[in-house]
Amino acid sequence: MKKILRIVSKNIKTATLVAVFAISINVTPAWSSGTHDGGHTDADDIGKPGEVEDVSRTIEVRLNDNYYEPEEIKVTAGETIRFVLINDGEFVHEFNIGTPKMHAKHQDEMMMMVEHGVLEADKINYDMMDMDMGGGQTMDHDDPNSELLEPGDTVEIIWQFGEEVTLEFACNIPGHYDSGMAGEFSFSH
């Protein structure tokens, strides 16, 4: 009985956290049962992980509550950029390179991470990321086009851009994208 009460209590805390996130930015929480299956790079044209020797420039991106600095980044097809990501906010944030469709799918997966307690407002429970979420899927969040950052963290992504497509960088933690935490890549010729 005590184990059941702990599970119920944990689920209530998680649901409350998600609801508080949503209410604080004036959106309705969407409860989902998606999987975090590593499908963030399923569009070949967005690019691929880059090699350090191919980096043409370094761009510093600051993640704030809930916006990026800069909000737009100019790139060229085939260019390899080192992104230095710095979370200046008080919350966990994500930098994810993808199309709007990819971000919509990923938002469902990120909701599952919150629902299972992997993500808290200001903390990532790394020890829970390898937990089986069903069907052998885990919440590893180890895709090369995406990084999760706790407040104060600094990480890098090296990315080689593909062909010119509608491409964004975004935070897909529940409510963040909807509150405006997305920027766009514009391709120059």
Averages of pLDDT over runs of 10 residues in the chain (189 residues) are: 38 41 38 36 76 98 97 97 98 97 92 91 91 71 91 98 96 96 95
CB under 8 Å to 15, separation ≥6 — which residues? 115
CATH number, domain with residue 53: 2.60.40.420
User: Which domain does 24 fall in, by range?
Assistant: 2-187
pLDDT of residue 23: 37
pLDDT of residue 148: 96
pLDDT digits (tens, 9 = 90+) for 44-71: 689 999 999 999 999 999 999 999 999 9
pLDDT of residue 102: 94
80-87, strands of its sheet edge to edge: 47-49, 154-161, 80-87, 57-63, 68-69
Closest CA to 144 of 39, 64, 54: 39
93-98, strands of its sheet edge to edge: 72-75, 182-187, 167-170, 93-98, 146-149
User: Which residues on adjacent β-strands are paired with residue 147?
Assistant: 95
Q: How do 68-69 and 57-63 pair as beta strands?
A: antiparallel
Query: How many domains does the chain divide into?
Result: 1
CA 119 vs CA 46, 67, 81, 111, 122: distances in Å: 26, 19, 28, 9, 8
pLDDT of residue 38: 42
State pTM to two decimals. Answer: 0.76
